[in-house]
Amino acid sequence: MRKLLYVACLVAALSACSNGTSEQAAAEAAKSYYDQLREGYYEGFLEGKAGIDSLPADYCEQLLDVCRHYMDDLVRKHQGRIFKVLETAKQVYLNRKIKIGTSKLNEVMLPIIEATPPPSIKGKYIKIKYVSQVPDTQIPTFVFYANLPQYVKEPYRRFLENKMRENWTLTGTPINVFIRQK
C-alpha cells in the first residue's frame, strides 16, 4: 500500500511541478511519464529527469533494472489496479483546477435553488440571486449571493455542494461554499 502511495505522490509531484507553464502542459507531462512507465519504456522515464547525463552508466542500468522490477512487481501484485490509482490521482489534480463560468453556474444552479429554496427563518424568505466561482484559489471556491446570508444554515450549504458535485466532475476535491450579501 505504501508503494501505491509513493507512485501516486510521484504522479502528483510530476504534474504539480509546472514551473510557470500552464496546467495543461503539466498534465500532459504527467501523462507522458505515466504512459512510458505503463508501456515499459523505463529509459524514457529516466530521460525526463534532470541530470541523468551526470550519472555513471552502470548506475543508470541499475536504476533501470530496479524500475522494471518495481513496476512488474506492482502490476503482478495488484493485477493492474495501480494504473487506476494513477489515473484517479491525475483526475483529482485536474478537478482541483476546474474553472466554471458564472453563466454556466447560474444556468444550472438557479433552477435547482428555485425548486428547493432555503427554508425561511423568522418569517423571512431567503433569495439566492446568483453564484460565481472565485478565481485563482487552491481549491474550487464558489460564492452564492443572497439577500439574507446569515440565515442560510449548514445543511443547505451541504445541499448546494452536493448539487454542484452532481453536475460537475468534482470527485476527490474539497469545495468551499460561501453565502454573501448581494
Q: What 3-state class would DSSP assign to 90?
A: helix
* Same domain as 83, residue 145: no
Query: Do residues 8 and 92 share a domain?
Result: yes
Domain hosting residue 29, numbered range: 2-96
CATH number at residue 152: 3.30.300.20
Measured distance CA(30)–CA(95) in Å, rounded: 15
pTM of this structure: 0.57
For the chain, the domain total comes to 2
In this structure, the dihedral spanned by the alpha carbons of residues 46, 47, 53 and 58, taken in order and rounded to 10 degrees, is 40
Whether residues 58 and 30 fall in one domain? yes
Same domain, 8 and 87: yes
Kindly state whether residues 114 and 85 are assigned to the same domain: no
Residues 65 and 145 in one domain: no
The last residue of one of the domains, among 96, 120, 144, is 96
State the pLDDT at residue 14: 45
- Specify whether 38 is located in the same domain as 89: yes
Task: Over range 139-145, report the average pLDDT.
Answer: 93
pLDDT at 164 (0 to 100): 92
Mean pLDDT of the chain: 76
Amino acid at 65: D
* Same domain membership, residue 29 and residue 51: yes
Q: Is the pLDDT of residue 108 over 80?
A: yes
Q: How many residues make up the chain in this entry?
A: 182
Report CA 19 to chain centroid distance, whole Å. 18
Exposed e or buried b per residue across 30-45, where buried means at least 16 C-beta atoms within 10 angstroms of its C-beta: bbebbebbeeeebeeb
| Alpha-carbon dihedral sign for residues 91, 13, 70, 50 | positive
Q: Does one domain contain both 108 and 85?
A: no
Same domain assignment for residues 107 and 91: no
Once rounded to an integer, what is the mean pLDDT over residues 71-91? 74
User: Is there a single domain that holds both residue 91 and residue 114?
Assistant: no
Q: Which of 97-101, 114-118, 129-133, 168-172 has the lowest mean pLDDT?
A: 168-172
C-beta neighbour count of 6 within 10 angstroms: 10
Domain limit, last residue, from 75, 96, 117:
96
